[in-house]
Amino acid sequence: MWKQKLRIYKIERKERRYLQKYAKKKEPWIEQKFAQKVPKKLQSTLASAFIKAFDLIFSKGVSWIEKTYDK
């Protein structure tokens, strides 16, 4: 009985440590550098351009992608 309680205690302790370690979501270093160098308005402009580019590729992708290489 006490072995089982000890095992449960150890598992709970590991779980608490894991949750403490990964509870805070870290911002990738590239995003930190990007935020320092690029103004907020430009960031939103770049994000919207990126979204529009993906939309174009997904809607008309096959013909656009086939133009980039020889069959």
Residues 3-61: pLDDT tens digits? Answer: 898 999 999 999 999 988 888 777 788 888 888 888 889 989 999 999 998 888 888 77
Q: Can you tell me the distance from the alpha carbon of 64 to that of 71, in angstroms, rounded to the nearest whole number?
A: 13
Domain ranges of the chain: 2-66
Look up residue 43 and give its two tokens. 């960031």
Q: Can you tell me the distance from the alpha carbon of 63 to that of 5, in angstroms, rounded to the nearest whole number?
A: 63
pTM to 2 decimal places: 0.44
Question: Is the distance from CB of 57 to CB of 49 less than 8 angstroms?
Answer: no
Q: Which amino acid is at 7?
A: R
